[in-house]
Amino acid sequence: MEKIHNVCVIGAGVMGRQIALNGAVSGFQVALTDSFPAALEKAGAWAKSYLTTSVEKGKMTQEEMEAALGRLTVDQTLEDALKQADLVIEAIIEEEEAKRELFTTVSKVAPAHAIVTSNSSYIPSSVFAPLFSDPGRLANLHYFNPAMRMKLVEIVRGAHTADETIETLKEFVSAVGKTYIVVNKEIEGFVVNRLLRAVQDEGYFLLENGIASFEDIDKGAELGLNYPMGPFRLMDLTGLDINYYNRQRHYKETGDEADRPPRALEERFLRGDYGKKTGKGWYSYE
């Protein structure tokens, strides 16, 4: 397997644009693509603004900023973005059917040597393995939000994933300044989100039984356990829609009423209160 030089990131939302910029800043040629031109335009403006702030804070030079932006292309079609890809990172909406449709195209268009990964935090790559003639190059590569700052990336091995794919992904993650953990078997939620879900579940129990407000539960986690942010504040950051979709999908798989999305979460999801990205979730944001 060849070294990774060219990266294609599919999905220019909050996660995709950060993953793409992280790769460009780290010296990789990155093509960011999205089916919505407005999303690409917004991502390009965000990248320039983000790096301009970094220059103003003395974290990088003007020349380094211009070089990084020169390595990031944000106006290509999916087919054009895939042509030279050594690594594909899917970062679209957390819905299985949407991803399946996308990977059907990727399996036909991406170069035969390219490693193909999903940034999904819950949907394992084995779901899409039948779409590929060589599923050995398929895996999950799960970044955490905000991807420009969070240091960890989960590399998730499916039963179909080749050892060489895992080793190449380790090299790539290190090259973009991140630390990796390898999840050796696919499991619901991988490692970090399984730990997080346990905390969230207890938070929902305390909230819905009237034991404490979500604000005080967050304070307990932050000041009593020294968490950077409590479970509800973290949901606002990562997106209540993503939390809802993942819980709803898990509930459909198990049929267990205990896995049904909590009522307080469902109410906010149905109102469109997804957290910071919509201006309101558990908390309100000016």
Residues annotated in a binding site? 11-16, 34, 94, 99, 121, 145, 277
* Known catalytic residue at 6: no
Where do runs of H (alpha helix) occur along the chain?
Answer: 14-25, 37-56, 62-70, 78-82, 96-109, 163-175, 192-208, 214-219, 231-238, 240-254, 263-271
Residues 49 and 37: their CA atoms lie apart, in Å, by 19
Q: Which residue in 95, 141, 133 sits closest to 116, CA to CA? A: 141
Q: One of 22, 119, 120, 121 is an active-site residue; which one?
A: 121
First to last CA, the chain: 48
Peptide bond preceding 228 in cis form (omega within 30 of 0): no
The token duo for 100 is 């399946």
Residues contributing to the annotated binding site for NAD(+):
11-16, 34, 94, 99, 121, 145, 277
Buried-state track 76-105, b at ≥16 Cβ within 10 A, e below 16:
bebeebbeebbbbbbbbebeeeebeebbee
Residue among 104, 97, 95, 158 at smallest CA distance from 131: 104
Tokens of 182: 């390898």
Handedness of CA 90, 94, 98, 103 (dihedral sign): positive
Residue appearing with tokens 């049929």: 255
Q: Using CA atoms, how far apart are residues 111 and 128, in angstroms rounded to an integer?
A: 17
121 a catalytic residue: yes
| 126 included as an active-site residue | no
Q: 26 an active-site residue?
A: no
**Catalytic residue of the set 6, 140, 154, 186:** 154
For residue 248, how many other CB atoms are within 10 A of its CB? 16
Whether the CB-CB separation of 88 and 8 falls below 8 Å is answered with yes
Which residue is catalytic, options 120, 193, 243, 246?
Answer: 193
Residues serving a catalytic function are: 121, 142, 154, 193
